[in-house]
Amino acid sequence: MATAYYSHPDCAAHDMGRGHPECPERLAAIGDHLLATGLDVALDQRDAPLVDLAELDLAHDTRYVAEISDRMRQAEASGEPRAVDPDTVLCPATWKAARRAAGAAVAATDAVIDGEVDNAFCAVRPPGHHATRNQAMGFCFFNNVAVAARHALDKRGLKRVAIVDFDVHHGNGTEDIVAGDDRILMVSFFQHPLYPGSGGVPLGDNMVNVPISPYTRGEEIREVIEMMWIPRLEDFKPQMIFVSAGFDAHREDDLGQLGLVEADYEWITRRIKQVADRYARGRIVSCLEGGYALGALARSVATHLRVLADL
């Protein structure tokens, strides 16, 4: 078996405007690097399907799904972008891109649970971990990881899943959705203070929030992971692990001030994989979140994929 790699050209068509950091070039940089290094041929490449809108209701309010979907369709029909907040814009291509992003996460979950592949990475946009139960924000519209985690629990019958979030920004949307759900353990680190300014006080006992001071480097973050994440994950014994894989904690990324490098992402991925191999039959679905320095993003994703694929 192999590591599945889900993506789709529709995800690259989503464009929030010139100079926006969450840009189509992010996926191009990843794809070009995989091609240049030959890593693309080692992956089971799959098209991201369109999500069944009923799946979105597993993580989001039904009214929110209907309202934001209607706004996306209006933008698609009019050809005019529509701002959701100062940083988040619906463009004509967002309707298909957002459904592909969530659809990839759900399809990857099914493929891994069904044993078609060992694990999966979703190279998709828009990202998802800032999307709350009823609000789009922070470049995010649908919470891809939360939708997939709830799909594994509510549709596929798993009893316990973990969400690991290593984006430089706190995954406030995911916390809003899963806090208090004892079937889900969420562990994360994030720079604090930094957008969106949340996470200092966890919203539920199933949350392991680790705020990190600016300019912290990888060695200290590894120590925190060993001390704060790993014991909770081992006690929880997840049957599957979902990863919000943000690579904007890289020292080259201007949207944060942490000091991770590719070797740190390799180590973090390996520790996640060790927990998954021990308790979850190796089942991991990882979804792209942040990462805006294109070279660092491409190299870090490739490092993440090599660990997932045992290369």
Tell me the average pLDDT across 237-263: 98
Boundaries of every domain in the chain: 3-309
pLDDT in tens, 55-69: 999 999 999 999 999
pLDDT in tens, 72-98: 999 999 999 999 999 999 999 999 999
Q: Is the pLDDT of residue 1 over 90?
A: no
For 71-78, the CB contacts below 8 A with 24+ separation are 72/98, 72/141
Q: Does residue 130 have an active-site annotation?
A: yes
Nearest to 5 by CA among 37, 24, 36, 30: 30
Instruction: List b or e across 241-259, with b for residues whose CB sees 16 or more CB atoms inside 10 angstroms.
Output: bbbbbbbbbbbbbebbbbb
C-alpha–C-alpha distance, residues 138 and 22, integer Å: 10
* Catalytic residue of the set 130, 169, 250, 304: 130
Residue 300 pLDDT class (50, 70, 90 cuts):
very high
Mean pLDDT, the chain, integer: 98
pLDDT score for 297: 98
Question: Which CATH architecture is the domain 3-309 placed in?
Answer: 3-Layer(aba) Sandwich (3.40)
Tell me the average pLDDT across 121-146: 98
For 47-50, the CB contacts below 8 A with 24+ separation are 47/6, 47/7, 47/8, 48/6, 48/7, 48/8, 48/10, 48/11, 48/100, 48/101, 48/103, 48/104, 48/107, 48/122, 48/124, 49/100, 49/103, 49/104, 49/107, 50/96, 50/99, 50/100, 50/103
Q: Are strands 161-165 and 44-47 parallel, antiparallel or unpaired?
A: unpaired
Q: Is the pLDDT of residue 255 over 90?
A: yes
From the number of C-beta atoms within 10 Å of its C-beta (0-12, 13-18, 19+), residue 115 rates as: exposed
- Put simply, whether the predicted model's pTM sits higher than 0.75 gets the answer yes
pLDDT in tens, 270-283: 999 999 999 999 99
Q: Is the pLDDT of residue 17 over 90?
A: yes
pLDDT in tens, 208-222: 999 999 999 999 999
Percent of the chain with pLDDT over 90: 100
pLDDT in tens, 176-191: 999 999 999 999 999 9
Tell me the average pLDDT across 220-249: 98
